[in-house]
Amino acid sequence: MTEVCVWAPFARESVDLVLGDERVSMRRDVGGWWRGELPEAPGTAYAFALDGGDPRPDPRSRRQPDGPHGRSVAFDPNGFGWTDRDWAGVQLPSAVIYELHIGTFTVEGTFDAAVERLDHLVDLGVDLVEVMPVASFPGRHGWGYDGVDLYAVHEPYGGPVALQRFVDACHARGLGVCLDVVYNHLGPDGNYLGEFGPYFTDRYVTPWGQALNLDGPGSDEVRRFVLDNVAQWLRDFHIDALRLDAVHALVDDRALPLLEEMEREVESLAAEVNRPLWLIAESDRNDPRTVTRRTPDPDAGGGLGLHAQWADDVHHALHVALTGETFGYYADFADPGALAKVLTTPFFHDGTWSSFRERTHGRPVDTLRLEGWHFVASLQTHDQVGNRAVGDRLSRLVPPGLLAAGAAILLTSAYSPMLFMGEEWGAGTPWQYFTDHVDPELARLVSEGRRREFASHGWDSAEVPDPQDPATVERSRLDWSEPEQPPHDRLLRWYRALLTLRRQRADLRDPHLDRVGVDHDHAARTVVVTRGEHRVAANLGSKPALVDLGEATAYRQVVLAWDEGARLTDDGRLSLPGESAAVVGPA
C-alpha cells in the first residue's frame, strides 16, 4: 500500500477513495488535505468522491487513460530506464528553437512517431524542440490549450511513458526539449478542480475561462499545485525548458508574484539536477521586466527573472514586410521604420501608440543590459498561422524567394529564432484550428463562434473550416514527402545552410542588440543588416537591386546566396536579384 492524498477543502464531511465499486473513507488532515491508502499494484485505477458524490479524477493525476472524465491510474515516473545520464542540458543563448504539435507533426500523431523524425531536426540544425501542450484534454484532437489534467500526458499521444521515451530520444541526439504549459486557465470540459477547492477566482477574467486563484484566500495551495507541476516536468520527465502560455493572464497581486517564485524554484532545481533549466514566457505586455533579472542594485531595476519571452512584434514587422498585409494588429507595422526598429530592439510598441489597442503600449528595452537571446523571434508560430481564418502558412502568401529572404533575416538576427514545424521546407499543408470536443453543446458553440469571429473580420464564413470536422485536423498534418520534392527541397537546403553558417560564424549569432545596424530602404524594398564583419542583404522587391553595403573593404565574398546571380561589384556593392537574399562577409 502507498499513501495517496488530495487537497479538498470544499469537502464538508468526507472524501472517499474509490477503488472499483468500493469506497474507502480517507482521513481528514490539516489545511484541507485528506489521506488514504492506495494499493501498489501497477495500473491501479482510482478516483475521489467528495461528500458521497460522483467519482472524480485526482487533480494531480499522472495518467488519465480514459481522458479527463475517466478514473485516474497510478503512475510511477521513476520506473523509466533513462539513458541520458550524460546529458548536460542545452544552452538557451545561441539556441535555435523548433515548435511542433505532436498530433500533427506526423500522420500517426504520437510521441513514438515523432521520434522517427528527430534526425530531420538534427540535420536541420536546431537545438531545442518546443512541444505544444500535452496535458490531458477531452477527445483525441486539439491544440492542447484546453487541457484539464495538468499532471497527466494526453493518452492519444502515447501517455507519460511515451513522453519520457521522446525526451530520452531527443537527448540522445543532442536536442533539448521545451514543453508548452498552460497555467492561466483550464479547459471547461472535464474540469473538476472547482469542486475540490478554491482553485479559481471571479475577481479576474481571462479570455478563455476562469482565472486561477493566485492571490486570494486558499491560494497558497493553488500556487503549490502549479509549482509542483513545473517541477514534475523538469525533474521527472527531464524536460529542459518550459514555455509559459500567456503569462499576462496570470493575474497575481502578491508582493512575490507566482512567476518570480517559479523562477526561484527552477533555479534551485537546476542546481539539484546539475543542468540548466529555462523558463520562456509568452506575454502580450511588451514588458522587458519579464526577463529582467532580480538584482540587489536598486538603480539596475528588477523583474520577474524569467529567461526569455516571445517577441511577437518582430514577427509582425517581418510579416508585413514580406506580405504587405496591414489589417488588424498588422496595421501599425506598416510604418516604414518598423522593420529596422524591431531588428535592433524587440518591441516596436515600447511606450508608443497602438492603433489596434487604441492606447499606448509597452515599455522600452535597455539593449545595453538585455541581450537579444532573451527574446524569441519567429516568422511563423502556431498562433500566427492557426489563428488565420483558413490556417494558411507564409508559403501560401509569398513566393519561395521571399520565404528565403525572411529566413535569412530571422536566422542571422540577435534573437533566439524559432521555426514552426514544416516552415523549413515551405510546407504546403495548412495548420488550422481543430478541436474534438466530446460535449455536443461545447462543440456547437466552438464551431459557430469560429465562423462568427471571422465573418466579423470580412471573411466568407463558408471558407472557415469547422474545427470539429475530422478533415480539419487531417489537412493540418505535415506531408513528409514534400521535403524531397521541388521547390520544397531547395528551401530546406537554404534553411540548413543558414543554420550551419549561424553556428560557424559568431557574428551571425551575436546577441548584442546595440551592435546591430539596419538600413531598410522602404521604397526600394531592400534591407541590409550589419552583423559584425558580415552583411545580411535582402531584396524584397521583384526587380534586381544594387545594394550599398557600406564599408566595402570589409566584405570579400558572398558566403551564401539564395540566387546564384548575387555578386559583388567592383565598387563593393551587392548586385542582388529580386526576391532573394545573401550573406556577405570575410572569406
Q: Round to whole Å and give the CA distance between 558 and 54.
A: 70
* 3 state SS of 268: helix
Q: Round to whole Å and give the CA distance between 286 and 290.
A: 9
Question: C-alpha angle with apex 339: 582 to 513, nearest 5 degrees?
Answer: 80
The answer to whether the beta carbons of residues 80 and 86 sit under 8 Å apart is no
- 399 in any annotated domain: yes
Let me know whether 204 and 349 are in one domain.
yes
Let me know whether 483 and 523 are in one domain.
no
Q: Round to whole Å and give the CA distance between 340 and 168.
A: 41
Strand partners, 418: 97, 378
The answer to whether the beta carbons of residues 140 and 188 sit under 8 Å apart is no
Tens of pLDDT, residue by residue over 170-216, are 999 999 999 999 999 999 999 999 999 999 999 998 888 889 999 99
Residue (of 347, 349, 409, 356) closest to 378 by Cα position: 409
Q: Which three cell numbers stand for residue 176?
A: 533539448
Q: Which three cell numbers stand for residue 571?
A: 565598387
Let me know whether 9 and 155 are in one domain.
no
Let me know whether 371 and 461 are in one domain.
yes
Q: How much is the average pLDDT of 331-342?
A: 97
Q: Round to whole Å and give the CA distance between 365 and 371.
A: 10
Let me know whether 146 and 182 are in one domain.
yes
As to burial, measured by CB atoms within 10 angstroms (0-12 exposed, 13-18 middle, 19+ buried), residue 264 is middle
Any catalytic annotation for residue 570? no
Tens of pLDDT, residue by residue over 15-43, are 999 999 999 999 999 999 999 999 877 78
What is the total residue count of the chain? 587
pLDDT of residue 299: 43
Domain region containing 33: 2-56
Strand partners, 308: 280
- 274 in any annotated domain: yes
Residue with cell 550524460: 86
Instruction: Compute the Cα dihedral for 92, 94, 100, 105 and give only its sign.
Output: negative
pLDDT of residue 206: 87
Q: For the domain that residue 574 is a member of, what is the CATH number?
A: 2.60.40.1180
Tens of pLDDT, residue by residue over 447-506, are 888 887 776 666 666 689 999 999 999 999 999 999 999 999 999 999 999 999 999 999
Q: For the domain that residue 353 is a member of, what is the CATH number?
A: 3.20.20.80
Q: For the domain that residue 31 is a member of, what is the CATH number?
A: 2.60.40.10
pLDDT tops 80 at residue 294:
no
Mean pLDDT across the chain: 95
Q: What is the DSSP string of 379-432?
A: S--HHHHHTSTT---GGGTS-HHHHHHHHHHHHTSSSEEEEETTGGGT--S---
Let me know whether 472 and 577 are in one domain.
no
The answer to whether the beta carbons of residues 348 and 361 sit under 8 Å apart is no
Could you give the residue ranges of the DSSP H alpha helices within 232-275? 258-273
Let me know whether 102 and 51 are in one domain.
no
* 3 state SS of 470: helix
Let me know whether 147 and 241 are in one domain.
yes
Would you give the distance in Å from CA 564 to the centre of its chain?
35
Residue (of 204, 203, 186) closest to 195 by Cα position: 186
584 — pLDDT class (breaks 50, 70, 90): very high
Q: Round to whole Å and give the CA distance between 479 and 469.
A: 19
Residue (of 55, 52, 80, 50) closest to 66 by Cα position: 55
- Known binding residues for substrate are 243-248, 312-316, 382-387
Let me know whether 228 and 330 are in one domain.
yes
pLDDT of residue 455: 65
Of 500, 528, 550, at which residue does a domain stop? 500
- Known binding residues are 243-248, 312-316, 382-387
How many domains does the structure of the chain reveal?
3
Residue (of 68, 53, 311) closest to 188 by Cα position: 68
Higher-confidence residue: 448 or 250?
A: 250
Q: What is the DSSP string of 331-348?
A: GGGGSTTHHHHHTTSS-S
Q: Round to whole Å and give the CA distance between 81 and 164.
A: 9
Q: Which amino acid, 102? A: I
Active-site residue among 245, 350, 510, 579? 245
Strand order of the β-sheet with 567-568 is 545-547, 574-576, 567-568
- 510 in any annotated domain: no
Let me know whether 236 and 356 are in one domain.
yes
Tens of pLDDT, residue by residue over 436-448, are 999 989 888 888 8
Let me know whether 34 and 110 are in one domain.
no
The answer to whether the beta carbons of residues 247 and 212 sit under 8 Å apart is no
- 507 in any annotated domain: no
Let me know whether 494 and 559 are in one domain.
no
Active-site residue among 146, 282, 287, 510? 282
Any catalytic annotation for residue 489? no
Q: Round to whole Å and give the CA distance between 440 and 434.
A: 15
The answer to whether the beta carbons of residues 279 and 262 sit under 8 Å apart is yes
- 148 in any annotated domain: yes
Q: Round to whole Å and give the CA distance between 466 and 127.
A: 35
